[in-house]
Amino acid sequence: MKLDATKMQDWEIAEAAEATMKPLEQLAEEAGLTRDELIPMGKRVGKVDFIQAMKRLEGVPQGKYIDVTAITPTPLGEGKTTTSMGLVEGLGKIGKKVIGAIRQPSGGPTFNIKGSAAGGGLAQCIPLTEFSLGLTGDIDAITNAHNLAMVALTARMQHENNYDDERLAKSNLTRLDVDPERVEFKWIMDFCAQSLRNIRIGQGGKMDGYEMDSGFAITVSSEIMAILAVAKDLADLRERMGRIVLAYDRQGNEVTTADLEVDGAMTAWMVNAINPSLLQTVEGQPVLVHAGPFANIAIGQSSIIADQLGTRLADYHVTESGFGADIGFEKFWNLKCRFSGLDPNAVVLVATVRALKMHGGGPTVRPGVPLDEAYTKENLGLLEKGCENLIAHIETVKKCGVRPVVCINGFYTDTENEVALIRKVAEDNGALCAQSKHWEKGGEGAIELAEAVVTACDEEHDFRLLYELETPLRQRIELIAKEVYGADGVTYSDVALEKAKMLEADPATGKLGTCMVKTHLSLSHDPNLKGRPTGWELPIADILVYKGAGFVVPVAGAIKLMPGTCSNPAYRRIDVDVDTGKVKGLF
């Protein structure tokens, strides 16, 4: 069956491609894995035994390392994963041994606005159903490990409230004296459930728990997801699990998972999750899927473990960062690369005519609403104005010492003049540039992009971080705000200022990176400010501490760690063919 992206939906393309996908054993062998390193998880997907594979690959020279990021997107997304898959296919077309690494989709967006994160058109990761609906269980493992910590904490609070010291001693417990007003953790689930953001638990009686305010966040925002993304191996993950701060006692001391003696059991949930899942592109190149999305409320990176494997198994390894370069790439640059020791040889910056026109003042773009004709007809004035956003992201990437490759992710409505304008702006501002039609043509449509990336990889570069860990916390936040977002300065709520001062007085803070929480829809904290906003300050509302993951988390603006479900969610269009059992409607 000929695959035609212009006439078929993504799930139809995936279903057709799955009929001829490579057997799992063949895929693993071609990726450079041995039979003992493949853990089959059904007929079509597997996991890679990371510990065994890395023992064999220790000392193997690393291949070229490529990160894919983007400009500030519309709410529809601008095709980062599609471009990642297209680039993997394009590198394969020009004869390069290549592996991709992308993030596992969250059930939140899969059943809400954005859909799955498999890519699209002829640049997809397959099999789509397994990829989109739980895959090999990593997100479930994170949910269980995280909620087990909450079970341990709330049960301990109940027992301490009900028991005197003598009875606690008989249970071999010491009093932790947790302050119910300073419980940092919430419960998690992997859906967008705004009704659970704020709840009251423990109601009923003393046998029904400890009554207090609580709430839910989405699973992919969990510190345990961040730990999975940055851990180097199982020993590192185990150590980090014990450093998670769940709450503070009434004297202001940390209460950790280790204090509750639950960290070992939490790690037990994660033993299989530490192994990346193995899938493939529509064209049969291997793809490692590990860690999760949402760089606006989490680290939003594919894992260090996947990148350690990919850079040793292939000559070119393509990894992915969430949302725009202001948040996804900034975290890749200053957190992931710092922790992994891997420096990128190339950075791909995905741009679309649609998003640049929006940043130039185009009409509002909303999911489920037809695009205004401003986005489908040539308008060079609108496009040129919007290129200010592209320039800002080019400048951000260049600050790390690597020349970016701007990928014009081609839509069939783009005109030659529009493409030429973006190319000129990119090149005039020191970037390489390539148009790519991977969505429509797969690897064949991504050859220009693949060749530009090979050129970038062969260039000399001097990779450097934006800040050192010795830099005081508020100075780091200001550096990110000014150098990456373009803010004039930073303001703090009373709560955030108090926490900042406390953290700056703690010598341990000097070992922690800075993981910003901010909207992905603007360079600023305000999703309504498009283009390249000027004359604004970044408001820090709160500061969270993820000591297990190894970073401090400043929260800018009114962003929520539990997204909401929209009025016309994707789940309305997902169903099952009861005769075949096949899922349809995923996108």
Q: For this structure, is 295 an active site residue? A: yes
Bridge partners of residue 435, in order along the sequence? 408
Whether residue 2 contacts residue 440, with contact meaning beta carbons closer than 8 Å, is answered with: no
The DSSP output letter for 224 is H
Distance separating alpha carbons of residues 259 and 548, to the nearest angstrom: 14
Q: What CA–CA distance (Å, rounded) separates 149 from 152?
A: 5
Q: Which of 64, 93, 96, 114 is catalytic?
A: 114
80 assigned to active site:
yes
439 is catalytic: yes
Q: How many CB atoms lie within 10 A of CB 254?
A: 18
Which sign, positive or negative, has the C-alpha torsion 85, 90, 91, 92?
Answer: positive
Catalytic annotation, pick one of 439, 496, 499, 549: 439
Write down the catalytic residue from 70, 217, 295, 355: 295
How far apart (Å, rounded) are the C-alpha atoms in residues 113 and 566? 7
Provide the residue count of the chain.
587
Q: Which two three-digit tokens encode residue 461?
A: 């570069």
Asked if residue 127 has a cis previous peptide bond (ω within 30° of 0), the answer is: yes
Catalytic residue among 269, 323, 333, 536: 323
Catalytic residue, chosen from 268, 398, 411, 541, is 411
- 82 as an active site residue: the answer is yes
Rounded-to-integer distance, Cα 320 and Cα 99, Å: 12
Spatial distance between the Cα atoms of 318 and 289, rounded to a whole number of angstroms: 12
Burial 231-241 (b: 16+ CB within 10 A, else e): bbebebbbebb
What are the E-state strand segments in 6-63?
Answer: 38-40, 46-48
CB 102 within 8 A of CB 382: no
Residue type, 255: V
**What is the rounded distance in angstroms from the CA atom of residue 374 to the CA atom of residue 382?**
9
Our measurement of the distance from residue 104's CA atom to the centroid of its chain's CA atoms, rounded to an integer in Å, reads 9
Sign of CA dihedral 468, 469, 470, 475: positive
103 is catalytic: yes
Q: Minimal CA–CA distance to 241: which of 276, 213, 273?
A: 273
Distance in angstroms (rounded) separating the CA atoms of residues 2 and 96: 25
Q: Annotated catalytic residue: which of 72, 82, 311, 514?
A: 82
- Rounded to whole angstroms, the Cα distance separating 139 from 224 reads 10
Phi/psi at 255 (5° precision): -115, 115
Give the whole-angstrom CA distance, residue 545 versus residue 552: 5
> Is 582 considered catalytic here?
no
Instruction: Identify the active-site residue in 64, 93, 96, 103.
Output: 103
Choose among 35, 97, 61, 104: nearest CA to 276: 104
Three-class SS state of 575: strand
Catalytic residues: 80, 82, 103, 114, 295, 323, 411, 439
